[in-house]
């Protein structure tokens, strides 16, 4: 008998197909986490059989997200810690996703300062290989947390960054605006919330993407805030209909949408109709998963019963609401105590968040500002809100720095970087107070200057270059002088962070090509 070899699966093709299937989980994990978990487990088994380490880690992180969304933060946290311990070092995408998930978990536990720390860790791990949608979600999470911690102005900066990154992606762009609208709603900022609601509607038309049930509910609540119950009732009814059309986990939010509708109906002097809507909402609620919603329904039912003139029933329902609210509060406190020994109070949380935000914007080795600070600060200097003066950028690179590490040691290289950073900080302090210095990574430095004109900026940058060359390096790098090359450019109308730095980078390349230890400008 002649044996015929069966064609074996091409591992490269199999891994590519596996990667596509893992990416597709993004479409279902939000509205059906149980199905996403089952699929992620199966894909993880396939990845392990193929020996595809990257796909295995991706599958494990999808499992963690599905668990978190399904209300099991302990299982999610355990998976993330396993990934970090067993599969270190993580690549940028995995590091970002793991930190973002930890931020979500700590948000669920009510520990927003720690959640913010994890979210900022995710931002610090960004690079261009990290999917745009994931980066957008991280920026949204940072913005949400800052808003919840009382740093509203800071949150708007991060929402703007998320919106810029999400432009062209209807789903993510609308998510950014919806979250920003919700923040304005929670703050009681009626006009700001209305503006965001109108932006949502505009984006819906632009992207030919109807508002989902969650966005419709947000808009309905904004109408209530603006004391327009008719518009609120119409929009809330649309949210209910949108949720009912989905045979998936997203329909779990239906009781909340019905509650919004009932509030609008009561304000329209339709208490009988509101009572029926509340009964529908209550019938959909279980005893555990909807504890918060059920308490809110009881509170609204007391209002409806009072509107119907049944004050005794209203009083009894209000007592029931108070007991349910206290029980819910007790459960939340118990869960938080198990997860964290201490939960920051509001003032402490704000102070801790402010401290961490400052630390997250500093390079730990040199003390200079870092890439995150540049991404936040530079766009504001270019969009017309900057102080008077001209903005210029100088990208700077230490010449042949690798050979310093190789010849003397990395410890000496670190010392050289610290000395150069100090000289750079001195240079940044010469012009306008809006100027700053940053380390972008490795030996690459950035100097942003606000000066009267280009000649003044060039004098500052050239003075810095000369100060590095003339520094007494004898005791640090015996027999070797440290020099640097730089490329400088002046901002022009319409410049973005990317366009400005791209021109500076081109001039830096020109300086290196011309022999190094010089500053080139366009």
Two structure tokens written together for 296: 């809110």
The reported pTM is 0.58
Reported residue count of the chain is 522
Strand, coil or helix: 38: helix
Active site residue 320: no
* Domains of the chain from N-terminus onward: 11-246 (1.25.40.10), 361-521 (3.30.70.270)
Q: Half-sphere exposure (CA, 13 Å, Cβ side) for 398?
A: 25
Angle 254-267/291-307 helices, nearest 10 degrees?
20
Cis peptide before 91 (omega within 30 of 0): no
Residue 277 CB neighbours (<10 A): 27
The gap from C-alpha 65 to its chain's centroid, in whole angstroms, comes to 15
Question: Which residue pairs, CB below 8 angstroms and at least 24 apart, start in 512-516?
Answer: 512/397, 512/399, 512/485, 516/399, 516/400, 516/483, 516/485
Q: What is the DSSP code string of 422-453?
A: HHHHHHHTSS-TT-EEEEEETTEEEEEEEESS
285's CB contacts (< 8 A; 6+ apart) are 255, 293, 294, 297
Q: Is 250 left (phi over 0), alpha (psi -120 to 50) or beta?
A: alpha
Question: Which residue's entry shows tokens 């040691």?
Answer: 409
Select which of 27, 359, 443, 456 is catalytic: 443
Pairing of strands 484-490, 519-521: parallel
Two structure tokens written together for 280: 């529908």
The pLDDT profile of the chain, 522 residues, written as one tens digit per residue, is 444 444 455 667 788 889 999 999 988 888 788 899 999 999 999 999 988 999 999 999 999 999 988 878 888 998 998 999 888 889 999 999 999 999 998 888 778 888 898 999 999 888 888 999 999 999 999 999 988 888 888 888 899 999 999 989 999 999 999 999 988 888 888 888 889 989 999 999 999 999 988 889 999 999 999 899 999 999 999 999 988 876 444 445 788 899 999 999 999 999 999 999 999 998 887 644 567 788 889 999 999 999 999 999 989 998 888 887 787 666 656 555 544 443 344 445 555 556 666 777 888 888 899 888 888 888 888 875 444 568 999 999 999 998 988 899 988 999 999 999 999 988 888 766 678 999 988 889 999 998 888 899 999 999 999 999 999 999 999 999 999 999 999 998 888 888 999 999 999 999 999 999 999 998
């Amino acid at each position: 008998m002649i044996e015929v070899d069966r064609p074996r699966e091409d591992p490269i093709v199999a891994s590519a197909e596996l990667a596509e299937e893992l990416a597709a989980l993004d479409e279902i994990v939000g509205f059906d986490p149980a199905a996403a978990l089952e699929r992620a487990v199966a894909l993880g088994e396939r990845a392990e059989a193929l020996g595809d380490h990257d796909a295995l880690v991706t599958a494990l992180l999808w499992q963690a997200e599905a668990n978190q969304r399904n209300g099991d933060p302990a299982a999610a946290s355990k998976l993330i810690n396993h990934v970090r311990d067993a599969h270190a070092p993580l690549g940028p995408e995995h590091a970002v996703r793991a930190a973002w998930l930890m931020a979500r978990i700590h948000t669920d536990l009510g520990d927003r300062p720690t959640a913010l720390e994890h979210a900022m860790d995710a931002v610090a791990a960004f690079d261009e290989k990290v999917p745009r949608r994931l980066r957008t979600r991280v920026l949204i999470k940072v913005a949400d947390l800052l808003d919840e911690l009382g740093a509203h102005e800071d949150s708007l900066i991060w929402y703007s960054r998320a919106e810029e990154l999400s432009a062209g992606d209807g789903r993510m762009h609308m998510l950014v605006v919806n979250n920003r609208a919700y923040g304005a709603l929670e703050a009681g900022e009626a006009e700001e919330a209305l503006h965001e609601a109108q932006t949502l509607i505009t984006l819906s038309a632009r992207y030919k993407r109807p508002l989902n049930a969650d966005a419709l509910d947000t808009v309905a609540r904004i109408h209530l805030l603006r004391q327009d119950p008719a518009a609120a009732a119409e929009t809330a009814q649309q949210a209910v209909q949108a949720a009912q059309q989905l045979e998936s986990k997203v329909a779990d939010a239906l009781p909340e949408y019905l509650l919004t509708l009932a509030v609008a109906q009561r304000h329209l002097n339709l208490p009988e109709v509101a009572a029926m809507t509340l009964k529908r909402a209550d019938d959909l609620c279980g005893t555990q998963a909807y504890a918060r919603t059920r308490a809110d329904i009881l509170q609204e039912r007391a209002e409806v019963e009072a509107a119907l003139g049944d004050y005794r029933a209203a009083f009894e329902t209000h007592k029931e609401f108070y007991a349910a609210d206290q029980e819910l509060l007790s459960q939340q406190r118990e869960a938080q105590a198990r997860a964290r020994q201490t939960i920051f109070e509001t003032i402490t949380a704000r102070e801790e968040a402010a401290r961490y935000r400052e630390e997250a914007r500093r390079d730990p080795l040199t003390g200079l500002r870092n890439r995150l600070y540049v991404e936040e600060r530079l766009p504001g200097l270019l969009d017309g809100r900057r102080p008077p003066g001209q903005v210029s950028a100088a990208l700077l690179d230490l010449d042949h720095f690798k050979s310093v590490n190789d010849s003397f040691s990395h410890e000496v290289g670190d010392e050289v970087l610290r000395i150069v950073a100090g000289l750079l900080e001195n240079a940044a302090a010469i012009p306008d107070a809006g100027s700053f210095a940053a380390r972008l990574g490795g030996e690459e430095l950035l100097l942003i200057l606000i000066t009267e004109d280009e000649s003044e900026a060039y004098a500052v940058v050239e003075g810095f270059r000369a100060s590095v060359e003339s520094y007494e390096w004898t005791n640090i790098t015996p027999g070797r002088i440290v020099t640097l090359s730089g490329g400088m450019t002046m901002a022009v109308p319409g410049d973005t962070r990317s366009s400005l730095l791209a021109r500076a980078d081109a001039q830096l390349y020109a300086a290196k090509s011309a022999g190094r230890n010089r500053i080139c400008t366009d």
